[in-house]
Amino acid sequence: MPLIIAENVQKDYQAGEITVKALKGLSFEIEPASFVSFVGPSGSGKTTLLNLIGCLDKPTVGKLTVSATDVLHLDRKQSASFRGANIGFIFQDFNLLPILTVYENIEYPLLMVQSAPASERKKRVTALLEAVGMIEQKDKYPDQISGGQKQRVAVARALVTNPKLVLADEPTANLDHKTAYMVIELMKKMRDEFKTTFIFSTHDQKIVGEAEILYTLEDGELTGRQVRGGKGNG
Amino acid sequence: MGNLFKIAIRNLLRYKRRTLLTASLITVGVVFVLVFISVSGSFKNMMVGSITDSMLGHMQVHKKGYVASIENLPLNLNLNPGAVTRLENVLDKELEIMAYSPRIKFGGMFSNFMETTNIRLNGIYPEKELKTVPLLASRVIDGKKVLDKGGIWIPELLAKGMKVKVGDTIVVVATNKDGSVNGKQFVVAGVLESATGPGGRDGYVHMEDAMEVLRMEGMEISEVAIRLKDFGKLNAFSKKLAGLLSKEPGKEGKPIFEVHTWEKLTPFYNIARMIDVMTFFIKLMLIAIVLISIMNVMIMAVYERIREIGTIAAIGTLPAKILNMFVIEGFCLGIVGAIIGNIAGIVIIFILNLSKITFNFGQQQGLILQANVNPADIIAISVTVIIVSVIASLQPAFKASRMEPIKALRHV
């Protein structure tokens, strides 16, 4: 069964008296353990779509099912719980909490969202620190590590709750090409290891090639879909 | 919960200068209130103690209607011997009473054989009086601290004005309730330091001498001053005694006694009330300081951390937990301010006491300020600060918890 089913998803914004159609009736399906990218120029609706899939926003029209849940009918608290249980986020600006160490940033979702026991937290966090190659920096604070390292920590944080889906909005936008490539490779490796679906948006053509399924968005419409092999077959 | 505290404390330490300033503001407020409460409270207690222990007693019983005319010292409103006996029978049974003292209060003329002036006098049984108002003896600044028959204690101002000293013979002339005039010679046994409050410039003679001057056949007393074992039970016992005495009606079936606590007998009670009102407003100021400073710092904290709030909300942190994070920050600020403020306040009060600051109260000169810290005040101030801190954090915390993650993440 597909992890994500979008049926005629439309999102309108009100800008003064003008209604802006950010997404114009998108329909698609994404299978579990896929490595998917949405590409398109700025303003094409990538971030809006990721926000809808991530239950941070709701479609104006249409039906969106994520992990067999109709996200349209979730209230504020249910949305938060759903995100905490099913979705990991990787942000363009890393968004690590500056008062927490690398270890604590990764531990945060287990501690504050899922209230996991200490032994499980330690096991999961240590495993991910090793997986993303940040075990040596675990006691450092975000302002003591590089941008690439921050994004590695963000990847680990997104995966620590063992989510079905990780959403990454322009995860490489603030990284140099080499580091960006490494982060994408890391995400791919994590997908292989944890069988997690990764969906990321980008407008970086060099990174686009790393996606196994590529959706092209233009002016809020899906204009293309390419399958480049790999495990995804959405 | 421990993790929420850890995060809150780290967030507070993140803006050290701002946290320090806010905590300092709360600290200053707490210190100010604690010192004010201790000093004003000690001043009040000392004055109340001075008035009740050297003049009034804790409470008094009079014939009904006497207090309304107390300025005239009306002898026709004295309790007759039968009523006095009934009253004493009631008082003797009450275990809460430490001592009581019957008094005849009257006005007269005081003569040193060359000059004459007015005097207000109390006829007392010295032993009973000194048990009821133990500080009276300490007001005898010259002469004997024991009042025998034929002796008189006169107020300091009168002694100076009439150039009378201990051992001199004087004459007291008074009119009794029937209108006849009588006089009696006394020897000045002591000079009393003047005190602020009712009776602070009265003289004292022995009860039997007063009865002789006033030509009383039986003891007709103006009032009975009462001292309780526990001053804290004053109001409760006053009600109890009033109830007991209401069961002792006069010939016409109407009550003959009235009971008054010290508050009803001295205008100083209004000063004491004023001190309480001032203390209340000082406490309000503290609440305002804490409320505004914490609210300000928390509003700033929420504004500066909008993206972080968006991040933790996106990750799945429940709104209630986000609210708790910010409330706990305010709570911690309040705790720190209260603890440091109380410690600093206690130190300042200790230093004030070491400095032996003196002040004057009416005729009393050079009273040493002895401020006491009441643990109940410390607890009340701390609890107030902490509760107000939490209340002040609620609005910003609520705003943070209601923030849309998508908007918060977009915040620049």
In a domain, A210, yes or no: yes
Which residues lie closer than 8 Å to A3 by C-beta, 6 or more apart?
A: A30, A31, A32, A34, A66, A67, A164, A165, A197
What average pLDDT does this structure show over B92-99? 94
Of A62-66, B47-51, B86-90, B229-233, which range is least confident? Answer: B47-51
Closest partner residue to B3 (CB to CB) among A82, A93, A111 is A111
Task: Tell me which residue has tokens 């050079």.
Answer: B366
Q: In this predicted complex, what is the ipTM?
A: 0.90
What average pLDDT does this structure show over B47-61? 88
Q: Testing the interface with A: which of B315, B332, B401 to mutate, by most A Cβ within 10 A?
A: B315
Query: Residue A26: what are its φ and ψ, rounded to 5°?
Result: -85, 140
Between CA A45 and CA B138 the distance in angstroms is 92
Of A16-20, B109-113, B269-273, B330-334, which range is least confident? Answer: B269-273
Distance from the Cα of A176 to chain B's closest Cα (Å) equals: 22
Q: Closest chain B residue to A112 measured between Cα atoms?
A: B317
Is B311 touching A (CB cutoff 8 A)? yes
Distance from the Cα of B44 to chain A's closest Cα (Å) equals: 50
Q: Is B406 within 8 Å of A91 when comparing Cβ atoms?
A: no
What average pLDDT does this structure show over B357-363? 70
For chain A, give the secondary structure using H, E and C.
CCCEEEEEEEEEEEECCEEEEEEEEEEEEECCCCEEEEECCCCCCHHHHHHHHCCCCCCCEEEEEECCEEHHHCCHHHHHHHHHHHEEEECCCCCCCCCCCHHHHHHHHHHHHCCCCHHHHHHHHHHHHHHCCCHHHCCCCHHHCCHHHHHHHHHHHHHCCCCCEEEEECCCCCCCHHHHHHHHHHHHHHHHHHCCEEEEEECCHHHHCCCCEEEEEECCEEEEEEECCCCCCC
In a domain, A232, yes or no: no
Distance from the Cα of A84 to chain B's closest Cα (Å) equals: 4
Beta A197-202 vs A165-169: how paired, if at all?
Answer: parallel
Distance from the Cα of A56 to chain B's closest Cα (Å) equals: 6
Between CA B323 and CA B90 the distance in angstroms is 62
Residues of chain A contacting B329 with CB distance shorter than 8 Å: none
Is B312 touching A (CB cutoff 8 A)? yes
Between CA B175 and CA B265 the distance in angstroms is 25
- Name the pTM for this structure: 0.77
In a domain, A233, yes or no: no
Tell me how far apart the 2 most distant CA atoms of chain A are, in Å: 54
In a domain, A138, yes or no: yes
Closest partner residue to A113 (CB to CB) among B10, B307, B317 is B317
The string of DSSP codes covering B117-144 is EEEEEEEE-HHHHHHHSGGGGGGEEEE-
Task: Tell me which residue has tokens 């806010």.
Answer: B22
Distance from the Cα of A70 to chain B's closest Cα (Å) equals: 17
pLDDT confidence of A27, banded at 50, 70, 90? very high
Identify the pLDDT of residue B199: 64
Distance from the Cα of B357 to chain A's closest Cα (Å) equals: 49
Number of neighbouring beta carbons within 10 Å of residue A70: 11
B6-20 per-position pLDDT tens digit = 999 999 998 899 999
Q: Is A16 left (phi over 0), alpha (psi -120 to 50) or beta?
A: left
Identify the pLDDT of residue B198: 63
Closest partner residue to B314 (CB to CB) among A76, A83, A98 is A83
Beta carbon pairs, A and B, within 8 Å? 64
In a domain, A172, yes or no: yes
Q: At residue A231, does pLDDT exceed 60?
A: no
Q: What CATH number has the domain bearing residue A13?
A: 3.40.50.300
Is B46 touching A (CB cutoff 8 A)? no
Q: At residue A232, does pLDDT exceed 60?
A: no
A112-163 per-position pLDDT tens digit = 888 899 999 999 999 989 888 899 999 999 999 998 899 889 989 998 998 9
Computed from CA positions of residues B300, B301, B307, B310, in that sequence, does the dihedral angle turn out positive or negative?
negative
Closest partner residue to A112 (CB to CB) among B14, B319, B321 is B321
In a domain, A71, yes or no: yes
Distance from the Cα of A229 to chain B's closest Cα (Å) equals: 31
Angle between helices B375-401 and B319-355 (to 10 degrees): 150
What average pLDDT does this structure show over B184-196? 88
In a domain, A20, yes or no: yes
Average pLDDT, chain A: 89
Identify the pLDDT of residue A233: 43
Between CA B228 and CA A21 the distance in angstroms is 85
Closest partner residue to B317 (CB to CB) among A56, A82, A112 is A112
Number of neighbouring beta carbons within 10 Å of residue A6: 23
Question: Which pair of structure tokens corresponds to residue B358?
Answer: 């003196």
Identify the pLDDT of residue B225: 95
In a domain, A234, yes or no: no
Identify the pLDDT of residue B196: 64
**Which uninterrupted H or E stretch holds B213?**
helix B207-213
> Are the CB atoms for B8 and B332 separated by under 8 Å?
yes
- In terms of residue numbers, what domain contains A100? 4-227
> Are the CB atoms for B294 and B393 separated by under 8 Å?
yes
Of B137-151, B193-207, B327-341, which range is least confident? Answer: B193-207
Identify the pLDDT of residue B95: 93
| Count of domains for chain A | 1
Residues of chain B contacting A89 with CB distance shorter than 8 Å: 311, 314-315
Residues of chain A contacting B310 with CB distance shorter than 8 Å: 95
Q: Is B308 within 8 Å of A100 when comparing Cβ atoms?
A: no
How many Cα atoms sit within 13 Å of B369 on the Cβ side? 20
SS3 B48: helix
Identify the pLDDT of residue B267: 80
What average pLDDT does this structure show over B327-356? 92
Q: Is B3 within 8 Å of A97 when comparing Cβ atoms?
A: no
Residues of chain A contacting B321 with CB distance shorter than 8 Å: 112
Of A7-11, A209-213, B400-404, which range is least confident? Answer: A209-213
